[in-house]
Amino acid sequence: MSSTQSLLTRVLRLSAFDGDSRAALLALHDAWRAGRESPPAALPALAHLRLATSGGEPLPAGLLARWQAAFGVPILDGIGSTEVLHFYVANGRDDVRPGSTGRAVPGYDVRVADPAGAALPAGATGELWVRGGSVLARYWRRPAQTRRALRDGWLATGDRFRQDAEGYFWYEGRADDLMKIGGSWVNPMEVEAALLSHAAVAECAVVARADGNGLARSLACVVPRAGYAPAPELAAALQAHVATRLAAFKVPQEVAFHTALPRTATGKLRRFLLRRGPATPG
């Protein structure tokens, strides 16, 4: 087996475990460089690759920066769906905006809409609507779902986005992912991005979970990078790190450490399991 084949086999095994091949490949690369694991041969170069693509989950700017520093190959993040068959918003090879999902793919009209479907101005957050030649005609034997999703040729995706003045779209999560903590709305994606900027964090997810009084508390579920041990001191350091970047009410009230986050077979995060699972505080 060639070193490249061995690498791919190892990454597939890792991604089956943690659900994210981007993070899995970086973790393996870091382990080889640090001497914690032995590579099958010389570290394989990726110079033969022109680019890589990413979908299914947003690509945090910090993960993109780590990837490019390690491999020198850009990752083009984008969003698509079964209803549209492929990406309708994506970064381009010479047009990568770290942290964003990119701009509309040629052939598609994409807008950020209010509940009535009217286009919102730049900077406003709303639901992403798309129309184009590959959008589904209807859901099979699901008329109610068809009526909810299709509006005068537009598909209401259920994803929350904002679009900046330059046309780049920025993912703000699903509507049902927003958390109301202490009377204020918190976007978990924003908190997760702050956590991922800390050197100790390999992966994370932020959810709301009820306490003993039935009140919602914010919980950061963190997978530490190799070399960082789960401990109350690390939990406090992560909370302090977020506090330097976000408003106080957005700082996770609890931190729990995990060896892996629950994901589907396609790598999407299963937040509902973290919301209802047992607490494992740091």
Question: Of 153, 174, 195, which residue sits at a domain end?
Answer: 174
Stated pTM of the model: 0.71
For 234-249, the DSSP string reads: HHHHHHHHHHTTS-GG
Residue 59 belongs to a domain: no
CATH of the domain at 244: 3.30.300.30
Residue 23 belongs to a domain: yes
For 73-111, the DSSP string reads: --EEEEEE-TTTSSEEEE-BTTB--TTS-BEEPTTEEEE
Total number of domains in the chain: 3
Residue 51 belongs to a domain: no
Plot region of 136 (φ>0 → left; ψ -120 to 50 → alpha; else → beta): beta
Q: pLDDT tens for residues 113-162? A: 998 999 999 999 999 999 999 999 999 999 999 999 999 999 999 899 99
Tell me which residue of 225, 188, 224 sits closest to 205, measured CA to CA: 188
The Cα-based distances of 90 to 50, 59, 87, 247 in angstroms read 16, 11, 7, 30
What is the rounded CA–CA span in Å between residue 273 and residue 252? 18
Alpha helices in the chain (DSSP H): 3-18, 21-34, 61-71, 143-149, 188-196, 232-243, 271-276
The Cα-based distances of 179 to 121, 160, 246, 279 in angstroms read 24, 14, 15, 18
* Domain match, 221 and 259 both: yes
Q: pLDDT tens for residues 183-205? A: 888 989 899 999 999 999 999 99
* Domain match, 103 and 184 both: no
Residue 66 belongs to a domain: no
pLDDT of 3 over the 80 cut:
no
Residue 212 belongs to a domain: yes
The Cα-based distances of 33 to 26, 42, 43, 106 in angstroms read 10, 11, 9, 41
| 124: amino acid identity, one letter | A
In this structure, are residues 50 and 74 in contact, taking their beta carbons and an 8 Å threshold? no
* Domain match, 208 and 234 both: yes
The Cα-based distances of 166 to 102, 103, 160, 189 in angstroms read 10, 9, 18, 21
* Domain match, 89 and 19 both: no
Q: What is the mean pLDDT of the chain?
A: 85
Question: Of 115, 150, 174, which residue sits at a domain end?
Answer: 174
Q: pLDDT tens for residues 225-256? A: 999 999 999 999 999 999 999 999 999 999 99
pLDDT score, position 154: 97
Tell me which residue range forms the domain holding 150. 78-174
Residue 106 belongs to a domain: yes
* Domain match, 103 and 139 both: yes
Take residue 189 and report the two structure tokens written for it: 């994606």
